[in-house]
């Protein structure tokens, strides 16, 4: 079947195949191995139902399509490799290796091989994979793998490959020459002198050169065949043992041999051969620059070996020492140092003449058939900075939805996780009590998550799913034909219209782990209907159950002592471990020693003088708060010290800590607007049980009767407001207002909330509250939000009166009308008018008298008995009206709390902490433009629930009133 057009239309699957050299190294060196081949490999993977028709082909008997994955598809190999990696991820590189449909079971000891095979067969049986017994070799000491022979000895060339090369006739065309050189290049890792030997053959491939097979070509042809009579055996590197790299640099070429000592430590075994010619521009380098270039090129070619081993470099010149001793690294030298900085390479003197002779020979006869010049181009030439890209951040500027659904033999379940822009997770899961397919469960999960988002009033959302079907159908890239899925698809599109911006994205299943775990919990756990399962609380444990405490000790030596000593003498610290030595070698490449002064190299080609702890303290003090110190933040302080030309290892951390402890910076620091704790809402359990009281005034100009104040009280349940104007609000006025307007009209309340004003907190008010058993509560000082209901009522009353009055001095006459207007208006927090919640009916407005409404006309015709009956019915339904107000109020408070909590930046306080208290503009401490914003320090004597603190002076005298934590910040010494 010709799938060329289908392959052009299919997006490329970039799942990587295993590196052949790493695979060979991991397989060789085992005592016993089993080589297996999957039966009809690709055909063991089913095609997705929606993609089967794309594999259709025509025959004389009709049109057919594949139900399994056919050969010839562009992404078949990557799909099969992904499948095998997923199924055997915990066994790969341990008991087995996988390359597409080839499986190799390896064992260091023969007695362990049966256990490894049993584990393999159980995994194959679990996923219904089949092997081809005709292509399996069990318990073999050696076997073929990707054209090579792997055994306990190492890696050898397949004799069949050698025989094919030796049996080749003399090439007669350029195609025959290319075929011969291609076969040789496949085994080029084993062959030395390849370029020199094949040079006559390479000349035959030049353009516009006729093919002339002379004696020189015949000698090269025969020499290659003779060399393959006894090819070398390469060994894989053993972990925990250093490598040896012989590097030889000549005028026009470089040779390299990578090896390792055997178990006896006396014999060197070859791992890899390398050689190359210098390019035309590289031949113009100086000898030491050629050495640096050769080392960087070899390190890149052998990167997978050098990253996991310490490598001893044996060469006639020391490029590492040159890079360390040169003060200014510019251009290509800086690039080579960046490349070499990730490897642990140690230069050592020449010890093995034989190995160096081989390297010299390779240098004299370099390979150029597969040479790729060292890349010296960097996107940011002037920056000279190497960094790693971060993974996908947990933080995002938009809401995200992760959902998943599953249906199995135990049931069906769905899960969804909403993630806020601040990274807060809102998980939810549901068990489906009806039969459904897996695709139906995916749609159920998506709709479930979207409804959650709409309930939370989210209008912009990015939805992530690991279902290709759902994502592509939602994006209208695939057509929805299944009759079971079509209603779900229509419902999903209807929900999507309610969002301002809704985007669907696909992500791998491994990155949808949270939603997948919820699905597993919901679908696979069986529980009876009457059983109530409490929500699962997942705690974050920052500290282990047991830990060792290590005391920090100082040796009074500067931090750079070991670096300086290594650059001066090449010696390591006493009792240094191998890891310490490796770290030190990597570190010294960034420093330069000039006499007795150590300098730190920077990426912009500057040198920074390294200073010790005492000098660092002086520099921070002088630059931050000296004569010309601007008291900048810690990050800018560290940058300014570096611009001045100084460096120490913990510079930024020390600068941040120094600035944090600066007393002037703390006293004059910016006011913190972000709340430290979440919002705590107050609710009244029944009408007239909780009242809040406050005073508006003084009002200037006063009313015509001389009144300057309005005493306001609000009932928390119904939002009913009582208010009266006074010339002066004395303690007697407040007590009379409380008795006449609240207690005698609406009954004895349970709680009264006021601020800390003296006229609201006195012996007369306290006596009245004690007489009627009323709990008098005060809000925290400088915290009007704690009595927010009466504050909001004050604002609304002032707004209404301001619009009603025509002259500024007649506002007291409009106050009763303003109260009626307030009581007959629907309040957002309850969804009803205070009048209807208090009396069970709506008040008659003046407009209804002028132009009789239907209610007025009907009540005018009612007899007294019918009117009384109707009034009784209204009072009977008042409880339902109040219950609806409670539900509406709770939803309103949740919305307000959700918006408020987004701004929370937690600041935890504990007893004994030293804090600073904010200075308010009305306090006497706030004087002038240059006054500090904070005062203190004070000691936290007690932490109250809800975010209130009781502070004390440094001498122990406690404040009489608590203060909210948003008025405080920690003080650092």
DSSP code, position 966:
G
Structural domain boundaries in the chain: 4-153, 159-227, 243-364, 399-524, 914-970
Segment 668-673 mean pLDDT? 87
What does the buried/exposed string (b/e) look like for 298-318 if buried means 16 or more CB atoms within 10 Å of the residue's CB?
bbebbeebbeebbbbbbbebb
pLDDT digits (tens, 9 = 90+) for 892-917: 988 988 888 888 888 889 899 999 99
Q: What contacts 175, CB < 8 A, 6 or more positions away?
A: none
In this prediction, residue 696 carries a pLDDT of 92
Strand, coil or helix: 948 = strand
Looking at 3.40.47.10, 3.40.50.720, 3.40.50.300, 2.30.30.140, the CATH number of the domain 914-970 comes to 2.30.30.140
> Do the bridges between strand 751-754 and strand 399-408 make them parallel or antiparallel, or are there none, so unpaired?
unpaired
**Residue 924: pLDDT above 80?**
no
Number of Cβ within 10 Å of residue 115's Cβ equals 11
Residues in the chain: 973
Rounded Cα distance between 212 and 172, Å, is 9
What pLDDT does residue 659 have? 93
> 964 with 782: CB under 8 angstroms?
yes
Q: What is the pLDDT of residue 735?
A: 93
State the DSSP code for 234.
B
- Helix/strand/coil for 850: helix
Alpha helices in 426-467 (DSSP H): 438-455
Do residues 833 and 823 touch, judged by C-beta distance below 8 A?
A: yes
Model pLDDT, residue 741? 92
Distance, CA of 495 to CA of 384 (rounded, Å): 50
Superfamily of domain 243-364: Ribonuclease H-like superfamily/Ribonuclease H (3.30.420.10)
Give first-to-last CA distance, the chain, whole Å: 78
**pLDDT score at 354:** 46
Query: In whole angstroms, what is the distance from residue 972 CA to residue 914 CA?
Result: 8
| Cβ 658 vs Cβ 633: under 8 Å | no
Condensed to tens digits (0 to 9), the pLDDT of residues 815-834 reads: 999 999 999 999 998 899 99
457: which strand partners? none
887: Cα separation from own chain's centroid:
38
How many CB atoms neighbour CB 637 within 10 A? 26
Per-residue pLDDT of 704-735, as tens digits, reads 888 999 999 999 999 999 999 999 999 999 99
Do residues 204 and 272 lie in contact, with contact meaning Cβ atoms separated by under 8 Å? no
Beta partners for residue 934, in sequence order: 918
CA-based nearest residue to 200, from 182, 215, 178, 179 = 215
* 892/826 Cα distance (integer angstroms): 14
Digit-coded pLDDT (tens) for 271-327: 888 877 788 788 888 888 888 888 888 898 888 888 888 888 888 777 767 766 666
Q: How is residue 945 written in tokens? A: 């629930």
Question: Within 13 Å, how many C-alpha atoms sit on residue 820's CB side?
Answer: 10
Summarize the confidence of residues 587-610 as an average pLDDT. 85
Assigned token pair, 897: 């709390």
> From CA 415, how far away is CA 425, in angstroms rounded?
13
Instruction: Compute and round to an integer the Cα radius of gyration of the chain.
Output: 41
CA distance 287 to 324: 17
Tell me the C-alpha distance between 494 and 490, whole Å.
6
pLDDT score at 202: 78
Q: Kindly compute the dihedral angle of the four CA atoms of residues 772, 775, 780, 786, in this order, to the nearest 10 degrees.
A: -100
Distance CA 277, CA 363 (A): 8
Say which range, 169-183, 253-267, 344-358, 782-796, has the weakest mean pLDDT.
344-358
Fold of the domain built from segment(s) 399-524: Nucleotidyltransferase; domain 5 (3.30.420)
Tell me the C-alpha distance between 321 and 338, whole Å. 15
Quote the CA–CA distance of 198 and 185 in Å, as a whole number. 11
Q: Give buried/exposed letters for 828-841 (b at 16+ CB in 10 A, else e).
A: ebbbbbbbbbbbbb
Mean pLDDT, residues 920-930 taken together = 64
- Within 8 A by CB and 6+ apart from 116, the residues are 95, 96, 105, 106, 107
Whether residue 389 is predicted with pLDDT greater than 80 in this model: the reply is no
Find the mean pLDDT for residues 378-388.
33
The burial of 238, by beta-carbon neighbours within 10 Å (0-12 exposed, 13-18 middle, 19 or more buried), is given as middle
Q: What is the pLDDT of residue 380?
A: 36
- Residue whose pair of structure tokens reads 């430590």 in the numeric block: 265
Beta bridge partners of 597: 594
User: What are the φ/ψ torsions at residue 691 (nearest 5 degrees)?
Assistant: -125, 145
Smallest CA-to-CA distance from 901 within 710, 637, 680 is with: 680
Q: How confident is the model at residue 530 (pLDDT cuts 50, 70, 90)?
A: very low
Asked if residues 929 and 920 have their Cβ atoms less than 8 Å apart, the reply is: no
CB 184 within 8 A of CB 198: yes
Average pLDDT of the chain to the nearest whole number: 83
CA 329, CA 601: separation in Å to the nearest integer?
A: 9
- The single residue listed with the structure tokens 């996991």 is 308
Structure tokens at 229: 């009579």
Q: Which two tokens stand for residue 883?
A: 């219950």
Look at residue 949 and give its three-state secondary structure: strand
The yes or no reply on domain 4-153 and CATH 1.10.10.10 is no
Identify the CA nearest to 647 among candidates 591, 696, 710.
Answer: 591
Least confident of 191-205, 317-331, 496-510, 632-646: 317-331
Per residue in 18-41, pLDDT (tens digit) is: 888 888 888 888 899 999 988 887
DSSP letter for 739, please: I
Q: Which of the pair, 379 or 865, is modelled with greater confidence?
A: 865
Strand order in the sheet with 751-754: 721-726, 709-715, 690-696, 751-754, 775-778
- pLDDT(811) > 80: yes
Predicted confidence (pLDDT) at residue 610 exceeds the cutoff of 90: yes
Segment 459-500, tens digit of pLDDT: 889 999 888 888 888 887 777 777 778 888 888 888 888 988
pLDDT of residue 535: 53
Question: How many degrees, rounded to 5, is the angle at CA 370 between CA 369 and CA 375?
Answer: 125
Which position has the token pair 């709390």? Answer: 897
Same topology between domain 243-364 and domain 399-524: yes
Per the DSSP assignment, residues forming a β-bridge with 399 are 461
Q: Which of 115-129, 198-212, 824-838 has the lowest mean pLDDT?
A: 198-212
Output the pLDDT for position 377: 33
- Tracing tokens 């799938």 back to the chain, one arrives at 3
- In the sheet with 102-107, reading across from the earlier edge strand, the strands are 96-99, 102-107, 32-37, 137-140
pLDDT tens digits for range 745-777: 999 999 999 988 888 888 999 999 999 999 998
Is the CB of residue 721 less than 8 Å from the CB of residue 822?
Answer: yes
Q: Provide the phi-psi class of 230: left if phi over 0, else alpha when psi is between -120 and 50, else beta.
A: beta
Nearest partner of 837 among 881, 873, 877, 793, judged by Cα: 881
Model pTM above 0.75: no
């Amino acid at each position: 079947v010709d799938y060329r057009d289908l392959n052009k239309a299919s997006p490329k699957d970039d799942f990587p195949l295993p590196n052949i050299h790493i695979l060979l190294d991991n397989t060789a060196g085992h005592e016993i191995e089993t080589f297996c081949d999957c039966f009809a490999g690709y055909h063991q993977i089913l095609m997705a139902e929606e993609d089967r028709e794309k594999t259709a082909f025509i025959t004389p008997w009709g049109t057919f399509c594949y139900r399994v994955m056919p050969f010839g598809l562009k992404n078949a190999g990557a799909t099969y490799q992904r499948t095998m990696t997923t199924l055997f991820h915990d066994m790969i590189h341990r008991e087995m290796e996988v390359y597409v449909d080839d499986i190799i079971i390896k064992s260091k000891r023969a007695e362990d091989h049966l256990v490894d095979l049993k584990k393999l067969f159980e995994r194959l049986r679990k996923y219904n994979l089949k092997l081809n017994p005709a292509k399996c070799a069990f318990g073999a000491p050696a076997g073929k793998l990707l054209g090579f022979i792997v055994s306990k000895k190492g890696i050898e060339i397949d004799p069949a490959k050698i025989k094919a090369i030796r049996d080749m006739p003399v090439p007669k065309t350029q195609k025959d020459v290319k075929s011969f050189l291609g076969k040789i290049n496949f085994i080029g890792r084993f062959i030395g002198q390849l370029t020199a030997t094949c040079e006559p053959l390479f000349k035959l491939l030049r353009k516009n050169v006729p093919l002339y097979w002379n004696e020189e070509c015949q000698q090269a042809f025969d020499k290659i065949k003779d060399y393959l009579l006894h090819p070398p055996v390469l060994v894989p590197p053993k972990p925990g043992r250093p490598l040896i790299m012989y590097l030889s640099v000549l005028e026009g070429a470089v040779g390299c041999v990578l090896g390792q000592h055997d178990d006896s430590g006396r014999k060197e075994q070859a791992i890899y051969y390398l050689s190359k010619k210098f390019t035309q521009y590289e031949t113009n380098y100086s000898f030491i620059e050629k050495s640096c270039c050769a080392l960087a090129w070899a390190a890149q070619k052998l990167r997978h070996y050098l990253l996991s081993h310490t490598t001893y470099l044996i060469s006639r010149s020391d490029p590492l020492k040159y890079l360390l001793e040169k003060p200014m690294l510019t251009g290509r030298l800086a690039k080579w140092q960046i490349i070499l900085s990730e490897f642990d390479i140690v230069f050592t003197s020449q010890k093995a003449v034989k190995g160096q002779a081989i390297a010299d020979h390779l240098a004299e006869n370099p390979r150029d058939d597969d040479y790729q010049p060292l890349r010296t181009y960097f996107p940011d030439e002037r920056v000279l900075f190497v960094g790693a890209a971060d993974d996908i951040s947990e933080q995002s500027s938009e809401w995200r939805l992760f959902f998943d659904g599953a249906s199995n033999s135990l049931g069906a379940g769905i899960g969804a996780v909403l993630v806020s822009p601040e990274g807060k997770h809102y998980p939810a899961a549901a068990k489906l009590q009806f039969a459904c397919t897996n695709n139906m469960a995916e749609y159920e999960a998506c709709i479930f998550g979207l409804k959650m988002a709409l309930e939370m009033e989210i209008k912009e959302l990015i939805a992530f799913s690991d279902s290709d079907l759902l994502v592509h159908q939602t994006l209208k890239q695939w057509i929805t034909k299944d009759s079971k899925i079509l209603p779900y698809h229509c419902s999903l599109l209807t929900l999507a219209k309610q969002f301002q911006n809704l985007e669907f994205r696909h992500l791998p299943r491994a990155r949808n782990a949270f939603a997948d775990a919820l699905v597993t919990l919901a679908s696979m756990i069986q529980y009876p209907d009457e059983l109530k399962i409490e929500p699962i609380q997942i705690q974050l444990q920052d500290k282990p159950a047991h830990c060792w405490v290590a005391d920090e000790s100082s040796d009074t030596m500067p931090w750079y002592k070991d670096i300086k000593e290594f650059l001066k003498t090449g010696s390591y610290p006493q009792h240094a471990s191998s890891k310490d030595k490796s770290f030190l070698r990597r570190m010294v490449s960034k420093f330069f020693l000039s006499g007795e002064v150590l300098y730190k190299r920077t990426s912009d080609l500057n040198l920074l003088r390294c200073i010790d702890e005492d000098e660092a303290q002086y520099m921070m003090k002088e630059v931050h708060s000296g004569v010309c110190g601007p008291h900048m933040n810690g990050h800018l302080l560290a940058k300014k010290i570096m611009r001045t030309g100084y460096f120490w290892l913990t510079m930024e951390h020390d600068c941040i800590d120094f600035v944090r402890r600066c007393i002037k910076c703390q006293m004059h620091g910016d006011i913190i607007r972000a709340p430290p704790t979440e919002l705590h809402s107050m609710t009244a359990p029944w009408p007239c049980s909780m009242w809040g009281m406050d005073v508006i005034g003084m009002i200037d100009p006063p009313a015509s009767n001389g009144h300057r104040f309005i005493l306001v009280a609000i009932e928390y349940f119904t939002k009913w407001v009582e208010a009266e104007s006074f010339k002066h609000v004395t303690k007697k006025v407040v007590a009379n207002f409380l008795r006449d307007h609240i207690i005698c009209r609406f009954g004895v309340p349970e709680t009264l909330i006021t601020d800390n004003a003296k006229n609201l907190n006195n012996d007369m008010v306290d006596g009245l509250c004690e007489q009627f058993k009323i709990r008098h509560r005060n809000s925290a000082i400088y915290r009007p939000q704690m009595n927010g209901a009466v504050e909001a009522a004050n604002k609304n009353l002032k707004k209404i009166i301001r619009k009603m009055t025509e002259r500024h001095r007649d506002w007291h006459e409009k106050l009763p009308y303003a109260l009626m207007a307030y009581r007959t208006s629907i309040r957002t927090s309850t969804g009803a008018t205070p009048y209807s919640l208090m009396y069970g009916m709506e008040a008659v407005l003046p407009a209804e008298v002028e132009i009789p409404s239907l209610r007025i006309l009907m009540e005018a015709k009612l007899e007294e008995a019918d009117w009384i009956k109707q009034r009784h019915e209204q009072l009977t339904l008042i409880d339902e009206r109040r219950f609806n107000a409670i539900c509406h109020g709770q939803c309103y408070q949740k919305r307000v709390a959700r918006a408020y909590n987004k701004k929370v930046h937690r600041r935890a306080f504990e007893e004994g902490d030293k804090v600073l208290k904010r200075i308010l503009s009305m306090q006497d401490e706030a004087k002038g433009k240059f006054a500090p914003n904070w005062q203190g320090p004070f000691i936290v004597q007690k932490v109250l629930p809800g975010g209130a603190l009781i502070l004390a002076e440094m001498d122990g005298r406690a404040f009489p009133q608590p203060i909210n934590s948003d008025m405080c910040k920690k003080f650092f010494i």
